[in-house]
C-alpha cells in the first residue's frame, strides 16, 4: 500500500508488484484552498488528519484486500510540506507497526516518475532505461537522467528495463539511480500557470483552465510575443518567473484588461468557475495572451527535455507531474519525439497529479531489496533525488 500526503491531496493505493493498480483513492483539498489562491499549509495538515483514515480504508476496500494481507506500507518522506508529510508518515508507521509489516520511505519525485511506468503497464508497455525524466508540477520543474542501478556498474545490463516479478520471487529490479540534469531557477511551471491565472482573474488552480482557453484561442493573433528564456550557466535549467512578470507587466500597462478581469473575478466569487462560464468573459486579446504564455512554457519544457535526451543519448523520455496533463505539452512532445525517434511516456491525467499508486510503485524496488525504514523515519521538506 502506498500513502501520499506531501501537499494538498490525501491518497492511498494498493499496487501489486509495483505495476498493477488494484485501487487508487485521492481526496483533493482544492475546494478548501481555492479561496486563498494557493495551498495553506496549516489547513492542509488538518485536512490530511481528517481524511487519512477513511482514505486508507477505502483503498483497501476497493482493492478487495484486508490490511492484514498487505505486504508492506510505503509512505512519502518528502519533499513537501512538513506538517502534511507528518500525517502520512505517522499513520504509515502506526499501520506498519500494528500490522507487523515493513515500512518503506519514498521520495515524492521518484513517485511522479513511476507514474509513467504504471501507465505504460496499463497499455502493455514498459519504458526502456536509461531515460530522461521531466517532472513538472506546481512545486517542481526538474530534469533527471534515470538508469537501472545495475547499468551503472555493468555494460552487460542491456535489458535494464523495469522488471515486474512478484514480491518475494527473488528476482526483480535492483532499483534506479538518478542524475539531476537541470531544474528551475525560480518558479515551477505549474506555479507560473497558477500565478498567471490568478492575475487574469481565472481562479485556482490555473493549469486546467489556461490549457482549455489556449486551445479555444485557435489562431488568434497574440497581443505580445514571448521569446525563449535563457538561463546563464546550465543550458538545461529552466526559469519561469520572468515570463510570469512579462505577463503581469503586459496586463498592468493596458487598462483595457481591467474590466474583463473584474468581471471574471466577480463570476468566480459567485461560484461560476467552469470553463464554459469563463470563456465568454474572455476577450480575443486575453485568449491570444493565454495562448502565447502557454506556447512559451511548452516550448521551453519540450526543447530542454529533448536537448537533454539527445545529449544523454537515451531513447526514452518520461514526463510526469500535474502540468504533464497539459494537452499542448503532450501533443508537442509526441511530435518532437516522433521526429527524434524517441519514445515519450506520460501518465494519464489522474496519475499525473499527486496520487499514492505512484508511491507504491516507486517503493517496489526497495521492497524487493528489503531496504526498509524504521520508526525513526521523519518528514524531509526538501529532499533531493539521486
321-350 positions binding ligand KG4, by CB under 6 A: 321-323, 325-326
314-353 positions binding Zn ion, by CB under 5 A: none
44-83 positions binding ligand KG4, by CB under 6 A: none
Among residues 178, 193, 226, 364, which is the contact residue for ligand KG4, using CB under 6 A?
193
206 binds, among ligand KG4, Zn ion, none (CB under 5 to 8 A by kind): ligand KG4
| CA 210/CA 189 separation, integer angstroms | 13
By the rule CB under 6 A, 358 interacts with ligand KG4: no
In 185-211, which positions are buried (b, 16+ CB within 10 angstroms) versus exposed (e)?
Answer: bbbbbbbbbbbbbbbbbbbbbbbbbbb
To which residue does cell 519561469 refer? Answer: 240
Q: Are 116 and 164 in contact (CB under 8 A)?
A: no
Nearest to ligand KG4 of 2, 190 (CB atom):
190
184 binds, among ligand KG4, Zn ion, none (CB under 5 to 8 A by kind): none
By the rule CB under 5 A, 164 interacts with Zn ion: no
Shortest Cβ 227–Zn ion spacing (Å): 29
| Piece in contact with ligand KG4 (CB under 6 A), picked from 222-230, 246-254, 259-267, 315-323 | 315-323
Strands (E), 224-382: 316-320, 343-345
| CA 76/CA 78 separation, integer angstroms | 6
Among residues 246, 354, 359, 380, which is the contact residue for Zn ion, using CB under 5 A?
354
**For 343, left (φ over 0), alpha (ψ -120 to 50), or beta?**
beta
Look up residue 131 and give its DSSP letter.
E
Close Cβ partners of 379 (under 8 Å, ≥ 6 residues apart) = 77, 78, 80, 82, 85, 86, 89
**Which residues sit at the interface with ligand KG4, rule CB under 6 A?**
7, 137-139, 190, 193-194, 205-208, 211, 321-323, 325-326, 353-354
**Which residues sit at the interface with Zn ion, rule CB under 5 A?**
137, 354
Amino acid at each position: 500500500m502506498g500513502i501520499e500526503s506531501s501537499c494538498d491531496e490525501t491518497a492511498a493505493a494498493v499496487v501489486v508488484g509495483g505495476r498493477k493498480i488494484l485501487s487508487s483513492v485521492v481526496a483533493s483539498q482544492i475546494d478548501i484552498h481555492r479561496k486563498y489562491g494557493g495551498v495553506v499549509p496549516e489547513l492542509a495538515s488538518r485536512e490530511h488528519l481528517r481524511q487519512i483514515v477513511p482514505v486508507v480504508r477505502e483503498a483497501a476496500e476497493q482493492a478487495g484486500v484486508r490490511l492484514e494481507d498487505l505486504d508492506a506500507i510505503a509512505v512519502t518522506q518528502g519533499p513537501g510540506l512538513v506538517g502534511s508529510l507528518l500525517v502520512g508518515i505517522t499513520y504509515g508507521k502506526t499501520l506498519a507497526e500494528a500490522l507487523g509489516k515493513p515500512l518503506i520511505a519514498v521520495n515524492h519525485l521518484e513517485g511522479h516518475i513511476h507514474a509513467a511506468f504504471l501507465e505504460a503497464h496499463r497499455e502493455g508497455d514498459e519504458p526502456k532505461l536509461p531515460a530522461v525524466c521531466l517532472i513538472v508540477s506546481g512545486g517542481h520543474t526538474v530534469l533527471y537522467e534515470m538508469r537501472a542501478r545495475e547499468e551503472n556498474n555493468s555494460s552487460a545490463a542491456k535489458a535494464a528495463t523495469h522488471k515486474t516479478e512478484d514480491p518475494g520471487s527473488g528476482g526483480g529490479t535492483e532499483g534506479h539511480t538518478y542524475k539531476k540534469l537541470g531544474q528551475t531557477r525560480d518558479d515551477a511551471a505549474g506555479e507560473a500557470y497558477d500565478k498567471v491565472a490568478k492575475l487574469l482573474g481565472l481562479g485556482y488552480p490555473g493549469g486546467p483552465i489556461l490549457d482549455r482557453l489556449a486551445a479555444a484561442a485557435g489562431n488568434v493573433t497574440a497581443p505580445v510575443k514571448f521569446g525563449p528564456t535563457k538561463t546563464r550557466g546550465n543550458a538545461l535549467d529552466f526559469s519561469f518567473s520572468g515570463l510570469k512578470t512579462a505577463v503581469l507587466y503586459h496586463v498592468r500597462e493596458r487598462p483595457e484588461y481591467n474590466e474583463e478581469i473584474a468581471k471574471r473575478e466577480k463570476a468566480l466569487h459567485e461560484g461560476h468557475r467552469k470553463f464554459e462560464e469563463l470563456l465568454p468573459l474572455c476577450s480575443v486579446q486575453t485568449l491570444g495572451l493565454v495562448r502565447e504564455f502557454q506556447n512559451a512554457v511548452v516550448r521551453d519544457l519540450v526543447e530542454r527535455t529533448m536537448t537533454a535526451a539527445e545529449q544523454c543519448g537515451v531513447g526514452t523520455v518520461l514526463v510526469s507531474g500535474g502540468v504533464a496533463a497539459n494537452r499542448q505539452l503532450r501533443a508537442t512532445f509526441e511530435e518532437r519525439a516522433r521526429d527524434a525517434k524517441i519514445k515519450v511516456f506520460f501518465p494519464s491525467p489522474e496519475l499525473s497529479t499527486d496520487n499514492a499508486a505512484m508511491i507504491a510503485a516507486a517503493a517496489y524496488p526497495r521492497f524487493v531489496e528489503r531496504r526498509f525504514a524504521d520508526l525513526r523515519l521523519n518528514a524531509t521538506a526538501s529532499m533531493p533525488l539521486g
